[in-house]
Structure 1
Amino acid sequence: MKRILISPLFLTVGLLISCGPDAETKELMTRAGTLFKPLPAVMPGFEKVTPQQIELGKKLYFDVRLSVNDTQSCNTCHRVDEKLGGVDNNQFSNGAPAGTIGGRNSPTVLNAGFHLAQFWDGRAADLTEQAKGPILNPVEMAMPSEEAVVKKIGAIEEYQTLFKGAFPDAKEAITYDNLAFAIAAFESTLITKDRFDDFLGGDAKALSAEEKKGLKSFMDAGCMSCHNGPLLGGNSYQKMGLLNPYANTKDLGRYDVTKKDADKYFFKVPSLRNVALTAPYFHDGASATLEDAVQQMAHLQLNKKLSDEEVKSIVTFLGALTDKERDR
């Protein structure tokens, strides 16, 4: 019997071919790559932030002294500690004054600087403008004025040093604008990394077979018509109840900002990055589970009735959008 010798090079090439993505996965990767993109490494507008500004912003973000009665920080409603998803997981958030409560569900702060605007109704253009709002909002942190904030923070010796280090060329380092920018600078670092980005980058094994099936179901159902781009959302406004009316007609959404009738019930399309961590869902927090949210969105926005299997499949895929450091 003749012995057949196979060269190491042939074995290596064969192994590489066998380990490559199959045709179905290749097609899925190509299709997904036309609709979605990995998250950029830096948020726009924060390319030149300094470590000192980020350090200051992080301290301010977690400091309850920014509220009128020293009970509430930015992190109270937008929790990034304990591997949470940048939210408090409440339908509506409690304010600093006893008995006050917000009127909309707190959106995640993770990756927020990539959005086309801030807040559900887009009333703030960027992270810095957004940071100014809750501190003065009477049902949130309830500080009476910008001047009161500057006076309170400016009296703290540690902040005197930190602000000077963060804004060394400023005539007055401790200003409300600088305070807001520093918070935004810290928030600009809250960029998450998930397995879907790895998949988009060419790693066919980054998603399980069930997650790939869910991605296909997500696209086949038409979810990507609104949830597309690097954030899978966050880049447009859409009417809540596009094809079938939504039950909550009290919140007029973007109309409150523009006063245009055409904007009634329009809200910023939320990003689906880390969506498995951010229940409850919708601007009014009325959907308790991701399964319910997927089913409702299919009905309201696409006029489709998804099967339980389709919902489960899509939800499985959405789990792959969770930050690796927060995946639990």
Structure 2
Amino acid sequence: MKKIFVFLLAFNICIANELISPIPQSIEFDKEKALLGKKLYMDKSLSKDGTISCNTCHLIDNYGVDNKMTSPGVNNAQGVFNSPSSFNAVFNFVQFWDGRAKDLKEQAKGPLLNPIEHGLNESEVVQKVKDNNDYKKDFDKLYGEITFDNIADAIAEFEKTLITPNSPFDRYLRGDENAISEQAKRGYAAFVSNGCTSCHHGVNVGGNMYQKFGIFIQYPNQELLGLFDRTKREEDKMVFKVPSLRNVEKTAPYFHDGTMPALEQAVQFMAYYQLGKFLEEDTINDITAFLKTLTGEYNEQTK
């Protein structure tokens, strides 16, 4: 029996290795533009009341999240979606839960113009940047002019650098058998055998497809309808971008509405809603141990 288990474990892991890839050690980016983008990312003056920056909700010293159910905006407004991590977002196939931005540059524009986030319009953003002499010098050198498009481009260039390679799981995929525990290996096998990799695969262990939330059991919160709010197609109700599981141990609370406080609960409820299963406690603990191996190392490249 033990030999059969070991064989199945190895077989499942072999399959999964074709579905999940390690994060690259680095990606190409323009350092000068990224340095400018970091300043913009951290700048609270780029909001209606001077209280909100990109870093307010996507903290670079906290795995790109604020660990709140939903995030605050200008004039004490409150967002409706849980803020996804800005870390490793460059590897997502689209941005935002409903996929309304095709890339990081388009995503960077959204919060600046959102009335309950930064609360500005394009001309106001441009004017605030023009009023800062340091920004003016940087933009003159790197872009030739200050435009809303160039502002978003600089922020996106910085966000490219927010990657977390060298997680224990990445080291394991690269051949270090001792990088993760035996429990995590069991959890990895359970993650595959229970069907989790049908949605959570690729470099980001997610972030590369849409999926209906509540395939087997209807999800309780039917107020946020995901892709449907953009397309108005009935089949798109409760369809969301599958979130990345990179650094998931650090990015609670979970789900698009931030209603799930703990990772173990999230694993059980995802099995329930998406797979129609109720997993045993040992399996939950094993999968959770595996998910914790996805926590990587952020090495700032814009110092």
The residue matched to 2:178 in structure 1 has which SS? Answer: helix
- Where does residue 71 of structure 2 map in the other structure? 93
- Where does residue 94 of structure 2 map in the other structure? 117
The answer (yes or no) to whether the contact 2:207–2:242 under 8 Å persists in 1 is yes
Q: Deviations over 1:172-209 (max 9, x none)?
A: x2111000000000000111111111111111111111
Report the RMSD for the aligned CA atoms in angstroms: 1.7
Q: Which has the larger radius of gyration?
A: 1
- Which of these residues, 221, 230, 246, is aligned with residue 219 of structure 2? 246
Structure 1: runs of 5 or more not aligned: 1-21
- Measured in 2, the distance between the counterparts of 1:37 and 1:130 equals 25
- Which of these residues, 119, 144, 154, is aligned with residue 182 of structure 1? 154
Q: CA deviation at 1:30?
A: 2.5
Number of equivalent positions: 293
State whether structure 2 residue 130 is matched by structure 1 residue 146. Answer: no
- Measured in 1, the distance between the counterparts of 2:195 and 2:14 equals 17
Look up the equivalent residue of 1:60 and give its one-letter code. Answer: L
- Which of these residues, 23, 35, 38, is aligned with residue 39 of structure 1? 23
- Which of these residues, 294, 305, 324, is aligned with residue 278 of structure 2? 305
- Measured in 2, the distance between the counterparts of 1:57 and 1:234 equals 23
- Which of these residues, 205, 216, 231, is aligned with residue 204 of structure 2? 231
The answer (yes or no) to whether the contact 2:47–2:118 under 8 Å persists in 1 is yes
The answer (yes or no) to whether the contact 1:32–1:200 under 8 Å persists in 2 is no
The answer (yes or no) to whether the contact 1:56–1:182 under 8 Å persists in 2 is yes
- Return the TM-score normalized by structure 1: 0.86
1:1-328 equivalences in 2 (<5 Å): 27=11, 29-41=13-25, 47=28, 49-81=29-61, 84-98=62-76, 100-143=77-120, 145-167=121-143, 170=144, 173-193=145-165, 194-325=167-298
The answer (yes or no) to whether the contact 2:9–2:186 under 8 Å persists in 1 is no
Identical-pair percentage: 47
- Measured in 2, the distance between the counterparts of 1:27 and 1:152 equals 57
The answer (yes or no) to whether the contact 1:97–1:142 under 8 Å persists in 2 is no
Q: CA deviation at 1:324?
A: 3.1
Displaced runs of 4+ in structure 1, greater than 4 A? 22-29
Q: Aligned in 2, Cα 1:91/1:223: closer, same or farther, shift over 3 Å?
A: same
Looking at both structures, which has the greater relative contact order when contacts are Cα pairs under 8 Å and sequence separation is at least 6?
A: 2
Q: Aligned in 2, Cα 1:26/1:302: closer, same or farther, shift over 3 Å?
A: closer
Q: Aligned in 2, Cα 1:23/1:201: closer, same or farther, shift over 3 Å?
A: farther
- Return the TM-score normalized by structure 2: 0.93
